[in-house]
Structures are given as structure tokens and as C-alpha cells.
Chain A
Amino acid sequence: MTQHWIDIKNADVVLIMGSNAAEHHPISFKWVLKAKDAGATVIHVDPKFSRTSARSDFHVPLRSGTDIAFLGGMMKYILEKELYFKDYVRDYTNASFIVSEGFSFKDGLFSGYDPATRTYDRKTWVFDKDENGVVLKDKTYQHPRCVFQLLKKHYDRYDVGTVSAITGVSKENLLKVWDAVAATGKPDKAATMMYALGWTQHSVGVQNIRCAGIIQLLLGNVGVAGGGINALRGEPNVQGSTDHALLYDSLPGYNPVPVAAWATLADYLKANTPASKDTKSVNWWQNRPKYVVSLLKSWYGDAATAENEFGYGWVPKIEPNVEYASLFMFDKMYKGKIKGGFIYGHNPAMSMPNSHKIRKALTNLDWLVIGEAHETETCAFWRQPGFDPKNVKTEVFMLPSCQRGEKDGTTSNSGRWHMWHYKGYEPMGVSKPMGWMVVEITKRVKALYEKEGGAFPAPIQNLDWYKEYDADLVARKINGQFTRDVTIGDKQYKKGDQVPAFPMLAADGSTTSMCWVYAGSYGPGGNLTKRRDHAQTPMQAKIGLYPNYSWAWPVNRRIIYNRASVDVNGKPFNPAKAVIAWEDGKWVGDVPDGPAAPMADPKGVYPFIMQTEGHGQLFGPGRVDGPFPEHYEPAETPVTVNPFSAQMSNPCMKVAESDMDALAKPGDPRFPIVLTTYSMTEHWCGGGDTRNTPPLLEAEPQLYIEISQELAKEKGIKNGDPVVIESLRGKVEAIAMVTVRMTPLQVAGKTLHLVGMPFCFGWTTPGVGDATNRLTVSVADPNTRIPEYKACLVNLRKADKVTELYR
């Protein structure tokens, strides 16, 4: 989240899209309802009428996978009716930037596309610069290649009629939502956007969120109270695990993973440290060398020296054009290219797409180590229905993990609040924290390398490893320490002192930090994640900002990009809900994005400090599939024509290809129904924990499929009937929940049915059903490789008998 949970209450409009917030983030609704109490309009755009819709002012059903069309239409509406926040757009976004002459967009493709590799060469997605290297701008937007004009032209095609026909949303409903959101393009109004996996889990997932970014910038809703783009993180520590590089493509603190082409640290830093010639641009990533060196130093300790590039050579490098994401890891496993591995707190036999393939892939392993609190479908894959354990060669080691309540540690919530939690009781049986498992295994591996050597022992031998697992020590190392006595300004720090904040991190080996964004969480003042102090100033009280409660990254800033909440003189756009204000030569309120004076001051800076040129990016050249979001159909789509271009699906989408990965053709008459999958309040992800929590299983006991009354009638299905759902990849049994909450949509002139299913029910809990993901596709967004769980094609029929469900 750019904001935090409490800030939702400051919104004038709450747009919940790509999220079922009330069900999946129940606490969010404490604040949504407070916003509503204060007069906010709450809108839910989602294929299904859910518990979120029930508490919203209105619910608008749309076809899964058409968010970009919906939001692209909103952009056109805002631009044509001039509802954007003019000062904000002119001063704080790149609307005025002149884009290179080489840039083009024709019939669904941006310039630089190579059909052979299904990738773009992005060299034309750049800005023209003057002789000093500063970006050329036209603040009047007269230049035909300024971002404002390109944006307008791009979305000119997204008229209400076309958008309505492809999304299945009535024109009336489209205009109702567009009007309500666009009304916040005023200095004293804000809309918040709450999204989750309903936006991300598409082959255009990242571009869905880019739409939100563009709209919020046009309306001046980024940086202000009650605004922002708010990714609702599921488990409290989804945020923390992302910060600490859960994903294959980053090192902790959002630093790219090294690729083979960057053989030396100098190569790496050169490729990843942006420069701006604009003196008003803070260009925060120019500090990357300090963060990366401090990270290496915390991994390798005294062994990391300037002479050996702080151990950069010991860090694994990935190859270009090789896929490493989990979807492709299982693809490689299926193809016999992976021999063994570790899985912690993850149930891919349930939660990865195309489960039949995933489950088959696991049998190709020689060995598998699992850290889990329960025996999940992944732990027990070797004895799943239809498998004879005698024919499965994999040796499986199950390490019992304790639950959160049984251990100390931190989690980072959606609002980036880093919070300590205390052990409430002793772990059950012989279960241990996963941190303990990693420490102990690595200790033993290290000892083996020291005793026996190996092909490349240095990375292991040189690890500055723990003597024993200690959550407090890990928290201190994440913050970072001085490795020698240093003087910064007029302050002296001793070797071993905690680093006060990331401005003190250095690229010379004098500091460590396992994740620079957390520097300051455990500085000389102690462990701030334990703070539970409600003290605040009257200004902070107005917007529900609690600076002394826990600690938020970065540097305890609660609303990021908050310099965009004030005008160029530092005066809040909305004085009643001011986030920061420039008063008597200093900032008050939240921790500002840097101490520099307001932008109009000769020493002032642009507000978007993480962007190289300091401006919010309407034109976003950083994504691999386009600088502007464009509507493409899901990999499996019920329509045969994309009204916006000849490109049916995302030209860059990633597809795992194997004999088990069939995809239905657009409009395949065998599979005319769109399936979307989701979680629910009562069960968490693949259900490993919650199906083993009896009161939760009691409340939601078995797999269901939500279908409209119209579809039920067409198929002769009654509420409560068992049904079989089929895709090109598998069959699943479920109980029909025939409901007025699902609505057939009119799409491209035809009636289209959508159905929805949770994916949490698995065979290790007898009689509850089995993996819904046996139906879904091995297709992913090209930026993140998140799979397209939210849209695929199925058919269904009443079942004569069922074997997976107790009746």
C-alpha cells in the first residue's frame, strides 16, 4: 500500500476492484465503513456479488480479465471531460515529457516488438532530452509527442460503447463508476483504490495496476490522505516476504537479481544505478550501491572486502531468457530437470495452476524437504488418490513447523508497518520456527563444505552465519550495523553500533544491512517494531496517523510520495486532511519524502523521489509489455475478437508449454463458461492451515461453485446439486451454489456465463473436494510471472455421482 489501513477512512470514494476486501481482508472494512460513515461512496467492481458488495453503495459486475478496458475507458472519460487535477498533472507527473520520435503504437503493439522472442526492445520508449541531458517538456501539452497527447490518443479507442460490449458492464454502470471516481480530481477530494489478486492474477496483471497508477496520478490522488494505490496483502507478512526478496528476480530491498552479463559488481551497479541530469530530481536509486554493498557485507561479513567486490562473485547469477519463476520451476520439475528441493509454508499441489501437472512434477524429484505446520497435499503428494506410493521414487522429509503464536518475530502488514509479535505459548511437539530450520540446515551444510570442500565452496564457507537462530538478532541484522568506527557529519559511530537509518549506509563496506528499507527499525533507539504508543500531534490525529505505533518502512513514513500532497510551495492541497505541510522552514506531519524544501524553492525537489526523473509516470517505460496499459484478452477467452486491436492476448505473456498444458482456443464452443477462482474469509490459500482448524471447516466445509440462476436453469442444476466442472486440463467436483449474486453478462452481443470457485479444498481433508486448480492455466504475466488464476474456460454439468465430496 502507498497508504496504511487506517488511512482508508480518509477517502471520499473507495473503489474496490480486483479485490473482495471484506472477505479476504476483513479488518480493511473497519476503515471502509468509517469512510462510509463520513459520507464516502463505496464501489465494488467484481464478477461476483460478494460480502464486499453487500456493504458497498453499489456493485458493478464485470467480465473477469477486462479491467484494462474498464479503466482505460475511465481514463478517456477523465481526459475528455478535463476532470483531471491540472496543477498536479502538470507539476508532478510526466504528462509534459516529450517521448522519442521512434516510439509508436500500432494495432495492439508498441514499437520494438520481436515476435520470435515475444519481447520488446524498449529503446524507443524513452524521453527526448536537451543538450544537458534534461528531459524536454511541454507544459502546454501542444507537442504531439508529449505524454499527455500520447495518453489521450491511446485511450481514444476506449469509448463507452466498446468498453461496455467487451466488459459486459452496462453503459449506465460504467458511467456511474467513472463519474464517482473522476469527481475526486479536485484538490480536496481523494479516492482510494483497493486491489488484490483480482488484479494481479492475470496475464496483464501488472498493467491492471498501472491503470490504477495512471488514474490516481491524473486525479491527484497519490501521496494524499485517503488516496493511493493499495495492494491488500493477504497474510500479514506477504509484504515482508516481498521486501525480503521472496521472488526470484530480486535481492532484498528491491534490488535486481544479478544476471550472468553483470560479471562484476561494477557491471551490476552500472546497469542498475540510474542517473538524472535534472538537479531537482532526487533520483533515490542513485544510492543503490550503498544498499547492495551493505547487503553483501551483511551476508559475508569480514570475508566481504573491497578487493573481492564484497563477495559479489559468490552471489548466484541468472541467465537471460531463462525462466526461473515458480510456474517455470515446476515446469522444469515436470520435465525432469530438477532433482530435489525445499518447500516452506507453501502448498503448490493445491495453489499452483494446472495441479495435475504440478502433482506429477513432484514425483520426478529424488528428494523433497517440506517445512509445514500440517500435512498438506504437497507433503502427501506421493499417496494422493490415483497414485501408488510404490511407484513414487521421491523421498520426502517433513519438518514440522510451529505456528506464528508459538514464536517471536516480526511481520510487515499491508501498510508497511513492521511489527513485533511475541511467542504466546510453547511450540507443539517437536515443531520449530522455520528460521531455526534454515539456520540449522545451513550450519550443517557449511560444516560439510568445510570438511569436504565442493565444486564452489566459497559462497557457503564465507557466509557470516548464525550460531543459533535468534529472531532479535535477525531483526538487528536486517536493520544493519557499522562494521568499523566511523564519523558521519559530527556524529561518531562505533563498530557494532546499529545503523540509525539508511542515509548512513555506505558503499565502502563500513555498514551492513540485510534490507535497506528496514534501516531505522532497530537503530540505536532499540527495536521500534515493539512500539505500541498512540501519541500523535493534532495534525496527525486528523488523518489517523500514529507515528509512534510500531514502525513503517521507509524511515517511518506512513504515506509514501507525500510530497505530492502539497502544492509547489508546500501548502497542503486538502488542509482538512493534511499529510505534511511546510511551516516556518520545516515539514510537519508525516515523515516527508526527504527533508528538501518545497518544489518551488530553489533548493526544492520533485515529489516522486523513487523515479529517476522525479515525476509520477503516466508513461511508464519500466514494464516489459508496454508503457501504457492495453486491453488484451485472457489466454483463454470466450470472445473471438478483441475490439481494440488484432492482438488477442498479451503479446509478451509467459506460457509454460508441455503435453499437459493445453489451452482452449478463443471462443472454444466446448468450454463456453468463464471460471474465476478465489479465496474466502474462512480458509487461507490452499487451505492447509484452515482445513485443520475445525471451527473454520465447520463454517465452510466443502468445495462449491457459485453459478447464476440463469445458468443453473440452462443446465438443469438445482441449488445444492453436485456438479462436475471441466476444462481442457482437468475435472473437478463441487456443490452448486445457485445464486442471484452471479449475473450473466452481455459480452460482444451474446449472453456469457461466469462461474466462481474457491481453491482451498484438498483431498487430505476427506470428503471436502480437491484442487480447483486442476482447471486453471499455466500462463503468467510477463513482468511478475504471476499465473492467470482469474480467468479460464470451463464447462459444467450435473454430476450423477461424486467421489471427492461426502454427501
Chain B
Amino acid sequence: MPKTFFIDTSRCTACRGCQVACKEWHQHKAVPTKQTGTHQNPPDFTPFNFKIVRFSEHKIDGQVKWLFFPDQCRHCLVPPCKDAADAYVPGAIVLDEPSGAVLYTDLTKKLTIDQAQEVHDVCPYNIPVRDRDSGLLTKCDWCIDRQQAGMLPACVKTCCTGTMNFGERDDMLALAQRTLAKVKERHPQAQLLDEEYLRVVYLVTEPRNLYHEYAERRVPNRGPMSRQAFLAMLARPVTRMRG
């Protein structure tokens, strides 16, 4: 049965255990970073960072809000990146039916730089990153190897607060709804993000645009995407979106 992640940011302490566990499991090398006036590092996804915790801070009506968003690929039910890649290199991006994972294969190397950029551009969440050295297009791989061995994804396994959850889709959606009802008591603006379309479902307590640019679904360079536009994009063959 296809699975789903449920990420409850109302519990996240930004300990970054998930970010580090992801690196360790994948044996990803560290990338050079600098302090630029924020705790968030690296600043964005890299070919060696499939999971990063995003930090954003606000003072609203005298109240400090420090928001944490453990960001990763959403594993869309109908992934636009796959449509885009299929137009050029079938098999570069596959949907693993049993698990629901959206997986980037070695064939992503065959995408040209422009094609890879196009695949990136159709992602409403700004996830894929092309590794300039290997030519691979990279992102969260669902820890598919761990799961096939009966283990939880590394980020879920390491999380000590209950932020990261993983399981059968029905169970996760039910957990998400239950949690939302409870969280709304203290945070009336809490919501789930695009849960009908994604296998990685976030619960946020504040308006989604406060977290980071791509906590909203977006058409890059065009700003936030309406729900209708989002649905239309999921429904349209990707080739018609070009130009």
C-alpha cells in the first residue's frame, strides 16, 4: 500500500536531527557553508542535502514567531517533474507504485542542462537540484532502500518530537486531521498543505507564506500559484506548459 509522510511543524524544535540523519544515511559529503546571520544552513537544497530545516522569524503584534520547516520533496501523487522528464528521457523519473515514491534515476544524467532546468521549473516547491559534476538530478529519495529493508526513513527514525511521521496513507491522513483539530485549539490558523495531492503532508500553524518562499506552491518567477492553477498544472501534459 502506498505510504505517506506527515510532518507536524507544530512539534518541530529545529534540532536538525532529520537534516543530519539524511546526510549520514546517504553518506553525503558536507558542503562548505558560512554564517550569514541566520541559523539556517545550508541556505538551500544541494545535491548533498535532500532535507534541510528552514528557519524564519517574525515579530507580529509584539509576539515573536520563530518558524521551522523541515523541507523536502513532497512526492506528489501526480508529479509534474515526472511528466516534464518523460517528455525527454522516459525512465529518468519514475513513480514507484507500491510505495508512492517519486524517484530520480541515473537516467536523469541524460537530461540536458536546459531540460533539467525545465524539470526543476515545473516543481511547485523548488525541490530538484542538478549536480553539476555528475549531471544527476537530485532530491529526497524516500529512503527507498531503507524502506525496502523494513526500516523507517532516516529522518523519521531520528525525530524525537513526533514531527516526522511515516506510514500507510490512510493512517497518516487520519493522523493529520486529528492533529490539525487539536492544534487548532491553540493555533486557529493551522492548516494542512495540499494534502490531497502530496505524499508528504505538512501541518503548519501560521500562514504558509511566513515559513519560506516555497512553503507556498509557486510557479517560479511568477509568484504564488492559485489552487486552480495548481490543479490545472497537475492535469495538463507538461509539454503544453512550455513557452
Please list the residues of chain A having a beta carbon within 8 angstroms of any beta carbon in chain B: 22-23, 26-27, 29-30, 33, 37, 49, 51-55, 59, 681-682, 694-704, 719-721, 735-741, 805-807
Q: Does the CB pair B20–A696 fall under 8 Å?
A: yes
How distant is the Cα of A737 from the Cα of B55 in the complex, in angstroms? 13
Given contacts A54-B66, A694-B30, A740-B57, contact A699 B20 (CB under 8 A): yes
Q: Which of A29, A695, A739, A805 contacts B57 (CB 8 A)?
A: A739
How distant is the Cα of A118 from the Cα of B130 in the complex, in angstroms? 67
How distant is the Cα of A700 from the Cα of B17 in the complex, in angstroms? 13
Given A33-B161, A740-B64, A741-B64, 10 other A-B residues pairs in contact with their CB atoms under 8 A: A22-B15, A27-B160, A51-B15, A699-B19, A702-B35, A735-B36, A737-B37, A739-B57, A741-B57, A741-B66
Q: B38 at the A/B interface (Cβ < 8 Å)?
A: yes
Q: B241 at the A/B interface (Cβ < 8 Å)?
A: no
Nearest Cβ on chain A to B212's Cβ, whole angstroms: 16
Given contacts A26-B160, A699-B19, contact A55 B41 (CB under 8 A): no
Q: B131 at the A/B interface (Cβ < 8 Å)?
A: no
Q: Does the CB pair A807–B161 fall under 8 Å?
A: no
Which residues of chain B are within 8 angstroms of A719 by Cβ–Cβ distance? 36-38
Q: Is the interface of A mostly helix, strand, loop or mixed?
A: mixed
Q: Does the CB pair A26–B15 fall under 8 Å?
A: yes
Please list the residues of chain B having a beta carbon within 8 angstroms of any beta carbon in chain A: 11, 13-17, 19-20, 23-24, 28-39, 41-42, 57-59, 64-68, 160-162, 182
A sample of 22 inter-chain contacts (CB < 8 A) reads A22-B15, A33-B11, A51-B14, A51-B15, A51-B66, A51-B68, A55-B13, A695-B23, A696-B20, A697-B30, A697-B33, A698-B42, A699-B33, A701-B41, A720-B37, A721-B37, A735-B36, A736-B37, A737-B37, A738-B37, A740-B58, A741-B66
Which residues of chain B are within 8 angstroms of A52 by Cβ–Cβ distance? 13
Given contacts A26-B15, A701-B41, contact A49 B64 (CB under 8 A): yes
Nearest Cβ on chain B to A693's Cβ, whole angstroms: 9
Q: Does the CB pair B161–A29 fall under 8 Å?
A: yes
Q: Does the CB pair B66–A30 fall under 8 Å?
A: no
How distant is the Cα of A123 from the Cα of B116 in the complex, in angstroms? 81
How distant is the Cα of A299 from the Cα of B67 in the complex, in angstroms? 54
Q: Does the CB pair B57–A30 fall under 8 Å?
A: no
Q: Does the CB pair A59–B161 fall under 8 Å?
A: no
Q: Does the CB pair B162–A703 fall under 8 Å?
A: no
Q: Would you list the 4 A-B pairs with minimal beta carbon distance, nearest first? A: A694-B30, A720-B37, A719-B37, A702-B35
Nearest Cβ on chain B to A741's Cβ, whole angstroms: 6
Q: Does the CB pair B39–A26 fall under 8 Å?
A: no
Q: Does the CB pair B35–A740 fall under 8 Å?
A: no
Q: Does the CB pair A720–B36 fall under 8 Å?
A: yes
Which residues of chain A are within 8 angstroms of B24 by Cβ–Cβ distance? 695
Q: Is the interface of B mostly helix, strand, loop or mixed?
A: loop
Nearest Cβ on chain B to A385's Cβ, whole angstroms: 20
Nearest Cβ on chain B to A689's Cβ, whole angstroms: 14
Q: Which of B16, B29, B41, B66 contacts A681 (CB 8 A)?
A: B16
Given contacts A33-B162, A695-B23, A698-B33, contact A681 B15 (CB under 8 A): yes
Q: Does the CB pair B34–A806 fall under 8 Å?
A: yes
Q: Does the CB pair A29–B160 fall under 8 Å?
A: yes
Taking each of B24, B38, B57, B161, which has the highest tally of chain A beta carbons within 10 Å of its own beta carbon? B161
How distant is the Cα of A145 from the Cα of B212 in the complex, in angstroms? 61
Nearest Cβ on chain B to A513's Cβ, whole angstroms: 35
Which residues of chain B are within 8 angstroms of A29 by Cβ–Cβ distance? 13, 160-161
Given contacts A29-B161, A30-B161, A740-B64, contact A699 B15 (CB under 8 A): no
Q: Looking across the interface, which residue of chain B has its beta carbon closest to that of A702?
A: B35
Q: Does the CB pair B35–A735 fall under 8 Å?
A: yes
Q: Does the CB pair B15–A698 fall under 8 Å?
A: no
Nearest Cβ on chain B to A36's Cβ, whole angstroms: 9
How distant is the Cα of A33 from the Cα of B59 in the complex, in angstroms? 24
How distant is the Cα of A492 from the Cα of B16 in the complex, in angstroms? 55
How distant is the Cα of A37 from the Cα of B10 in the complex, in angstroms? 11
Q: Does the CB pair B29–A694 fall under 8 Å?
A: yes
Which residues of chain A are within 8 angstroms of B31 by Cβ–Cβ distance? 698
Q: Looking across the interface, which residue of chain A has its beta carbon closest to that of B21?
A: A695
Given contacts A23-B15, A695-B20, contact A59 B64 (CB under 8 A): yes
Given contacts A27-B160, A741-B57, contact A701 B33 (CB under 8 A): yes
Nearest Cβ on chain B to A590's Cβ, whole angstroms: 25
Q: Does the CB pair B41–A699 fall under 8 Å?
A: yes
Nearest Cβ on chain A to B159's Cβ, whole angstroms: 9
Q: Does the CB pair A30–B162 fall under 8 Å?
A: yes
Which residues of chain A are within 8 angstroms of B29 by Cβ–Cβ distance? 694
How distant is the Cα of A807 from the Cα of B187 in the complex, in angstroms? 40
Which residues of chain B are within 8 angstroms of A806 by Cβ–Cβ distance? 34
Q: Does the CB pair B16–A699 fall under 8 Å?
A: yes
Given contacts A30-B161, A694-B29, A741-B57, contact A53 B64 (CB under 8 A): yes
Q: Does the CB pair B34–A26 fall under 8 Å?
A: no
Which residues of chain B are within 8 angstroms of A695 by Cβ–Cβ distance? 19-20, 23-24, 28, 30
Which residues of chain A are within 8 angstroms of B57 by Cβ–Cβ distance? 739-741
Q: Looking across the interface, which residue of chain B has its beta carbon closest to that of A27?
A: B160
How distant is the Cα of A694 from the Cα of B30 in the complex, in angstroms? 5
How distant is the Cα of A778 from the Cα of B173 in the complex, in angstroms? 56
How distant is the Cα of A429 from the Cα of B228 in the complex, in angstroms? 61
Q: Does the CB pair B39–A700 fall under 8 Å?
A: yes
How distant is the Cα of A699 from the Cα of B59 in the complex, in angstroms? 24
Q: Does the CB pair A740–B15 fall under 8 Å?
A: no
Nearest Cβ on chain A to B161's Cβ, whole angstroms: 6
Q: Does the CB pair A55–B37 fall under 8 Å?
A: no
How distant is the Cα of A699 from the Cα of B37 in the complex, in angstroms? 13
Q: Looking across the interface, which residue of chain A has its beta carbon closest to that of B64?
A: A49
Nearest Cβ on chain A to B25's Cβ, whole angstroms: 11
How distant is the Cα of A699 from the Cα of B34 in the complex, in angstroms? 9
Q: Does the CB pair B20–A807 fall under 8 Å?
A: no
Which residues of chain B are within 8 angstroms of A700 by Cβ–Cβ distance? 35, 39, 41
How distant is the Cα of A698 from the Cα of B31 in the complex, in angstroms? 6
Q: Does the CB pair B66–A698 fall under 8 Å?
A: no
Nearest Cβ on chain B to A465's Cβ, whole angstroms: 40
Which residues of chain A are within 8 angstroms of B15 by Cβ–Cβ distance? 22-23, 26, 51, 681
